[in-house]
Structure 1
Amino acid sequence: MKKIAFFLFSALFAQAAFAQTAANDKLKDTEFKVLGNCGMCKKTIEKAAVSAGATTANWDVKTDLLAVSFDAKKVSKDAIQKAVALAGYDNAGYKADDEAYNKLHGCCKYDRTGEAGGTKSCTADDPEKQ
């Protein structure tokens, strides 16, 4: 009986490990520039990325690069960039609208003359924002 229980436990453990590996194989990793200044920016940028569907998000204050992992079947890089812009941060895909930028804390108001790369407005395809 102990051998059967051990075999069943081993089979379940192997299946769970395989499922986790398969889930990790679906994840896509990418990074893009997001303008910001400080640790408060880091927290807000990462939270916006995760709320958009990123499984992990890490923004580097020194390089302005946001590294994200996400399931490409559930969310896109574009959707993550848009969410970050809606939080007030210009990035490689979208420029934050002035209203979102102006809501940022004083220390988070980065220099908007910097090169973020994005030229699309994050409100362009959102009828509620037009």
Structure 2
Amino acid sequence: MRTLMIVFGLLLTSLAYGQEKKPQIVIQTSAECGQCKDRVEEKLNYTSGIIFAELDVPTKQLTVKYKANKITADEIRKILSDLGYDADGVKADPEAVAKLPLCCQPGGMDGHEH
């Protein structure tokens, strides 16, 4: 019986260590509207290593769950910058911002519905 308990304990330990870490982060973005939400979520949800990405437009907060052994939080912020959005302290790539529709550029909404 004792041997069985030891084997069972080792099995559980190996299963626990075999699990990938799946952290979740919340990134403050410069997203402005529903088009931004679609653009960001589509890009991230089809990026290897990202399990789930959802942008809350009113707060401009992006929640991302990802596989730490496949992608880092800094790489996620870089993807957002390359799309034309600020991501926490990482500023948006100016050329990418210029390619966004006007409503998606900083201050683009200014009270307009989109």
Q: Same fold, TM exceeding 0.5?
A: yes
In the superposition, the TM-score normalised over structure 2's length comes to 0.71
**Equivalent position amino acid for 1:33 in 2:** Q
Match of 1:29 among 10, 24, 28: 24
1:81 aligns with 2:95: no
2-structure distance, mates of 1:88, 1:103: 8
Over 6 Å off, 4+ runs: none
| Structure 1 unmatched ranges of 5 or more | 1-18, 113-130
Is residue 62 of structure 2 the alignment partner of residue 103 of structure 1?
no
CA contact (8 A) 2:32 2:105 kept: yes
Q: Deviation at 1:54?
A: 1.6
User: What is the Cα deviation at residue 48 of structure 1?
Assistant: 2.9
The answer on 1:45 being equivalent to 2:40 is: yes
In structure 2, list runs of 5 or more residues that go unmatched: 1-14, 109-114
- Counterpart of 2:23 in 1: which secondary structure? strand
Deviation at 1:105, TM superposition (A): 0.7
Q: Which amino acid aligns with 1:95?
A: K
Cα shift readout 1:55-89 (whole Å, capped 9, x = no counterpart): 10000001010000001011101000100110011
Q: How many residues align?
A: 91
Distance 2:50 2:68 in 1: 9
Larger RCO: 1 or 2 (CA < 8 Å, sep 6+): 2
| Structure 1 residue 52: Cα displacement | 5.8
Range with bigger deviation, 68-77 or 41-50: 41-50
Separation (CA, whole Å) in 1 of partners of 2:89 and 2:67: 19
Q: Distance in 1 between matches of 2:66 and 2:23?
A: 5
Q: CA RMSD in A?
A: 2.1
The 1:93–1:104 alpha-carbon spacing in structure 2 relative to 1, beyond 3 Å, is same
Q: If the length of structure 1 is used for normalisation, what is the TM-score?
A: 0.63
**Residues 53/66 of structure 1: CA separation in 2 closer, same or farther (3 Å cut):** same
Higher mean C-alpha deviation, range 76-85 or range 91-100: 91-100
